[in-house]
Structure 1
Amino acid sequence: MYPKKYPRNQWYVAAHSEDVGRQLLSRWLLDEPVCLYRTSENAPVALADRCIHRQMPLSKGRLGDDDTIECGYHGTVYRTDGQAERIPSQPNVPRACRVHRFPLFEKWGLVWIWMGKPELADPARIPGHHWLTDPGWATVRGTLPMKARAQLLNENLLDLSHLEFLHAGSIGTAKIAKTPITTDFDDGVVRVSRPMYSIDCPPFFTKTMGLSGVIDRGQVAEFFPPAFHITHVSAKPAGDLDESRKCEQKAIHCVTPARGNTTHYFWCHARNYKIDDPEINALMQHGMEMVFKQDVEASEAIEEIISNYEPDHPIELNFKVDAGALQARRLMDQLVAAEQ
């Protein structure tokens, strides 16, 4: 029901680009410790965050001007490719003295990592998300730690009927849950669409978009297994045929398993209206983080229940609105099974 195993021959978001710099950054990803940093030429690097000698985290060492890492325990020095080039206590360096280097891909403000077989890492498999750095869009972003398995958030993001209840008073209004959805599955992507016509404008849209009264609201949730979501949102006055008055938003959700039942939630929110308004930027930064924190809190509350029942789970009853989430479960099972 709620898998904790995740496919490794896939791309996951390891960090926002702004998170990775000339300081050694330790981050657990798919139950492995990873050390992230940038070279002097600004290229991101990801090494296994454990010295091959005695497992001391490399992130507790020192980054040299030549981009090498000196282990803080016994001084072994590693190059960016993971190979050790110096062991202070002996003159020779065995070829086996190396740590794994993970393939990375950086674009549009996100750093992606491949945790599986390096020879299979193909950046062409990463979904497009150009809005995050497009000059015609304004973007805010953040990271939320979650004490729950990633699948709970994956399913939360595919069943947006919860907006009416979990996010009442911000982006939720009445009648969202009653609005029919369409669920599509093609080319490995799950897509849940909910067009809403003549529906009340939520308070947060009034603050940011300047809309009020009744609106036509579009909402399409896309899931690119195993860990990436794009929620396409649009709004305009009800019945207005002028597309120039439509406001569009793209919510990017990167749900990366960390260690055990914990998850990194890297979120981004882009909009194509009022892009030069600092007040709206501040509203978006604070407002969206509060909304996403509510999703995290709900996932953590569910985790507290189901983790105490494992290896079994309490009986659950599925509703029609769960079609997208159930398809996501099947896809995740298929990806894991294919690797095994």
Structure 2
Amino acid sequence: MYPDRFPRNAWYVAARSREVTRSVLSRWLLGDPVALYRREDGRPVALVDRCIHRQLPLSLGRLQGDRIECGYHGLTFDTDGSCVRIPGSSRISDRVRVQAFPLYEEYGLVWIWMGDPELADPALVPDHHWFRSDCWATAEGTLHMAGRAQLLNENLLDLSHLTFLHPESIGSPEVAEAPVHTSYDERVVRVHRTMTDVSCPPFFQKIMQVEGAIDRGQVAEYFAPAFHISQTHIRPAGSGDDVPAFRQMVMHAITPETRTTTHYFWGVARNFALNDPGVTDFAVEAVSQVFQQDIAACEAIEHIIAAWEPSYPLELNIKVDAGPLRARRIIEEMVAAERESSAAPEPHKVDTAARRAAAASRLRAEGRRSVV
């Protein structure tokens, strides 16, 4: 039912850019310990956070220029994971190394690819340019959940819960009753709602200064396996397209930490009150409280389903579950495809440098940064 394994051949948010510095950051991602830091030229590095000698986390060591020295016995590793120094040894095999992970940095986020590095195409990173655009103002935060990542994926695809879980902030009675249209392709699920002449929730009254009834549109967009953009468009009821809409784009990067714990990186971009820090401060506090309610619900569900494993209690699926159920299927298909690929004979490898150069060329043409 609820996937607790996620594909490794995919991009996940590992950290916010400001978190990755010249001090080594240790973070568990997809069940693996990862050490993150920056080279002296500012480029980020990600290595598995364990020395191959006696497993001490490399994050407990120290940086020597761009290299990291284990704090236990002094083995030193370069940014590509190769071991360049073993005290007392003059010759080091090329096979002595730790795993290094491809990274991609854009719009204040550091993305990591923990699968086959030859498949790490930055063009697969979902668009999220709103969060560093002069045309949008942003608020952001980072949360942690003691539950599997799929619970948040499904929470974000079934927004009928706004009526019942968030009635004092972003919910209204009409959300749960509004007709839902679900569409999807191989890796993306979209759930649409259009509501006309409905009540305005307290959160939008506060930040948009809207009184009375509104016309409200919602699109929950999921990019498998772990990224969402939730769009909200609001106008005074009956005002029509001639009146500019208040628009809000909410980013949710849902990164599995372990099988049953999750990192939650969120951001809210708005096209109004661009120079009002008071609106931003209110959004940071209010949105964080909303997402804490989501987390509390998901953690309560985790407590129940964990007690039933390896089976699950019986669940009833209803119309609004089309999006969440499709998300489950996509993740299951991605994991199964990786399993089949690893079991099959290894295909002819394309040169990694050539693949990355080609990807970088495509991104330059699109005006985006190349892979790190």
> Deviation per CA, 1:234-293, whole angstroms, max 9, x where unpaired?
111011125453110110001111113101111111111101101001011111111111
Alignment of 1:76-87 (within 5 A): 76-87=75-86
Structure 2 counterpart of 1:308: 307
Alignment of 1:1-340 (within 5 A): 1-64=1-64, 66-340=65-339
Stretches of structure 1 that go unaligned for 5 or more consecutive residues are none
Whole-angstrom distance in 2 between the partners of 1:3 and 1:186: 19
Whole-angstrom distance in 2 between the partners of 1:245 and 1:210: 14
Q: Secondary structure at the match of 1:51?
A: coil
Whole-angstrom distance in 1 between the partners of 2:259 and 2:179: 36
How high is the TM-score relative to the length of structure 2? 0.89
Q: Quote the offset at 1:97 in angstroms.
A: 2.1
1:88/1:243 Cα in 2 relative to 1: closer, same or farther (>3 Å)? farther
Whole-angstrom distance in 2 between the partners of 1:23 and 1:160: 39
User: Kindly, what percent of the aligned residue pairs are identical?
Assistant: 56
> Deviation per CA, 1:167-217, whole angstroms, max 9, x where unpaired?
110111112101111001124210000111111111111111111211011
Q: Secondary structure at the match of 1:300?
A: helix
Counterpart contact for 2:248–2:269, Cα < 8 Å: yes
Whole-angstrom distance in 1 between the partners of 2:211 and 2:68: 56
Whole-angstrom distance in 2 between the partners of 1:243 and 1:114: 44
Stretches of structure 2 that go unaligned for 5 or more consecutive residues are 340-372
Kindly provide the amino acid, as one letter, of the partner of residue 29 in structure 1: L
1:329/1:301 Cα in 2 relative to 1: closer, same or farther (>3 Å)? same
Q: Secondary structure at the match of 2:198?
A: strand
Kindly provide the amino acid, as one letter, of the partner of residue 309 in structure 1: W
Kindly provide the amino acid, as one letter, of the partner of residue 286 in structure 1: E
Q: Secondary structure at the match of 1:307?
A: helix
Single out whichever of 82-91 and 305-314 deviates more from structure 2: 82-91
Q: Quote the offset at 1:317 in angstroms.
A: 0.4
Whole-angstrom distance in 2 between the partners of 1:315 and 1:90: 60
Q: Quote the offset at 1:91 in angstroms.
A: 2.6
Kindly provide the amino acid, as one letter, of the partner of residue 137 in structure 2: A
Structure 1 residue runs of 4 or more that deviate by more than 6 Å after TM superposition: none
Whole-angstrom distance in 1 between the partners of 2:185 and 2:67: 44
Whole-angstrom distance in 1 between the partners of 2:180 and 2:96: 55
Whole-angstrom distance in 2 between the partners of 1:302 and 1:198: 34
Whole-angstrom distance in 2 between the partners of 1:37 and 1:160: 37
Single out whichever of 82-91 and 299-308 deviates more from structure 2: 82-91
Name whichever structure is richer in helix by fraction.
2
Whole-angstrom distance in 2 between the partners of 1:49 and 1:191: 36
1:243/1:139 Cα in 2 relative to 1: closer, same or farther (>3 Å)? farther
Whole-angstrom distance in 2 between the partners of 1:225 and 1:196: 27
Q: Quote the offset at 1:69 in angstroms.
A: 0.7
Q: Quote the offset at 1:90 in angstroms.
A: 2.4
Q: Quote the offset at 1:42 in angstroms.
A: 1.0
Q: Quote the offset at 1:126 in angstroms.
A: 1.2
Counterpart contact for 2:231–2:250, Cα < 8 Å: yes
Kindly provide the amino acid, as one letter, of the partner of residue 58 in structure 1: L
Q: Quote the offset at 1:28 in angstroms.
A: 0.6
Counterpart contact for 2:174–2:195, Cα < 8 Å: no
Kindly provide the amino acid, as one letter, of the partner of residue 19 in structure 1: E
> Deviation per CA, 1:30-70, whole angstroms, max 9, x where unpaired?
11110011111111110010101111101111122x21111
Q: Secondary structure at the match of 1:316?
A: coil
How high is the TM-score relative to the length of structure 1? 0.98
Kindly provide the amino acid, as one letter, of the partner of residue 126 in structure 2: P
Q: Secondary structure at the match of 2:173?
A: coil
Alignment root-mean-square deviation, CA: 1.1
Counterpart contact for 2:7–2:225, Cα < 8 Å: yes
Whole-angstrom distance in 1 between the partners of 2:92 and 2:285: 51
